[in-house]
Amino acid sequence: MKHNNNNNSNTIIDAHKKIKNMEIRGAGRIGRAVASALKEYSLTIQNIENNEFKEKMIEAGDILKSARPTAVSLPNAVNYVLSGLNTNNPKENIILNAEEFIKSSSEATSKIGKIGSNRIKDGWTILTHCNSEAAISVIKTAHNSGKNIKVICTETRPRNQGYLTAKALADEGIDTTLIVDSAVRYHIKDVDIVVVGADAITSNGCLVNKIGSSQIALMAYERKIPFLTAAETYKFHPKTIIGETIEIEERAVGEIHEFEEKYKDKIKLRNPAFDITPSQYIDGIITEIGIIPPQGAWHIIEKYFGNVFKETL
């Protein structure tokens, strides 16, 4: 399917392209976008045997999974939807699974908001990094419950997603300040709690999130300020439980800087999109089933992705 112009495959190619170029971004949105693309694609496949249908859906899932390597919401959403293939009514179940994933993902974000907002006290200043729906849900819920809060948003170079967060919070009437990434330590004395999102949580409770998250966690630790990550259960990485590591996406260096011709071969650029925050710097993982300590990550993976053991061992 990869490079043909078959109309049926356009949905998948289009979703792959939009995720890769970050037109669709944010771990949760990516998960819902692939669920929706698989549903739409399955509806376009007509009059074929179940076996052939299965092959086409697996191929579509593989294409989607290859769009970006780090956010585990992507393969988790694909696998959740495609588990419908192992039933007597594969198409029907793919559609049901896709709808279920999209609904439960949105519900999880609002539950995380309710649970996480309990950790925020009236008068507090929250620092957040990048642009996370789950972290924003926590902040907005605290604000909507009448707490007088302030938020400091990091710019989040190179793609400046922090500006999206700042606009979303300012639109809610929240007292919002945007700072450059290198100003976190300067401002940390004013911060009461850090809340960020998650692209993946490993079985040993480490957080994989937007580049710069781990520096912020270190600074929060130094000041004894709680550092929390808001992560739906589908952001836990099932294969880390069997020893797989998570690939950190390196994006095009043009996102950072365009050098003058003279320096193009003289100055190297690197653009890793994510980093890893060790579990000892994380005070809690806010999930839709409660705030768990990082040490509880193994249990979440075992509870929600137990089949990984059966399939691989």
Ligand X SMILES: O=P(O)(O)OC[C@H]1O[C@H](OP(=O)(O)O)[C@H](O)[C@@H]1O
User: In this chain, which of 39, 174, 199, 220 binds ligand X, going by CB under 6 A?
Assistant: 199
The nearer residue to ligand X, 12 or 198, going by C-beta atoms, is: 198
Q: Does the annotation place 27 within a ligand binding site? A: yes
Q: Which is nearer to ligand X, 74 or 95 (CB)?
A: 74
Give yes or no for residue 284 binding ligand X (CB under 6 A). Answer: no
User: What is the side-by-side strand order in the sheet with 125-128?
Assistant: 175-179, 150-154, 125-128, 193-196, 227-230, 284-287, 290-292
Instruction: Indicate if 62 belongs to the active site.
Output: no
Q: Pick the binder of ligand X from 38, 74, 126, 134 (CB under 6 A).
A: 134
The answer to whether 203 contacts ligand X (rule: CB under 6 A) is no
Distance in Å, CB of 235 to ligand X, minimum: 7
Alpha-carbon gap, residue 248 to 276, rounded angstroms = 9
Closer by beta carbon to ligand X, 13 or else 207: 207
x/- string (CB under 6 A) for ligand X, residues 144-173? -----------------x------------
CA distances in angstroms from 204 to 112, 244, 283, 295, listed in the order given: 21, 12, 14, 6
- Other beta carbons within 10 Å of 294: 22
Using the rule CB under 6 A, is 25 a contact of ligand X? yes
Which of 246, 243, 156, 161 is closest to 201 using CA atoms? 246
Does the annotation place 209 within a ligand binding site?
A: yes
Q: Are 15 and 24 in contact (CB under 8 A)?
A: yes
Tell me, yes or no, if 199 is annotated catalytic.
Answer: yes
Among the candidate windows 22-30, 33-41, 89-97, 119-127, which touches ligand X by CB under 6 A? 22-30
- Other C-beta atoms closer than 10 Å to the C-beta of 36 total 18
273 is a contact residue toward ligand X (CB under 6 A): yes
Using rule CB under 6 A, residue 194 touches ligand X: no
- Helical pair 50-65 and 73-82, crossing angle rounded to 10 deg: 170
C-beta of residue 9 within 8 angstroms of C-beta of residue 180: no
**Which residue ranges make up the site for ligand X (CB under 6 A)?**
25-28, 130, 132-134, 161, 196-199, 209-210, 273
- The residues assigned a catalytic role are 130, 199
Residues contributing to the annotated binding site? 25-28, 68, 209-210, 235
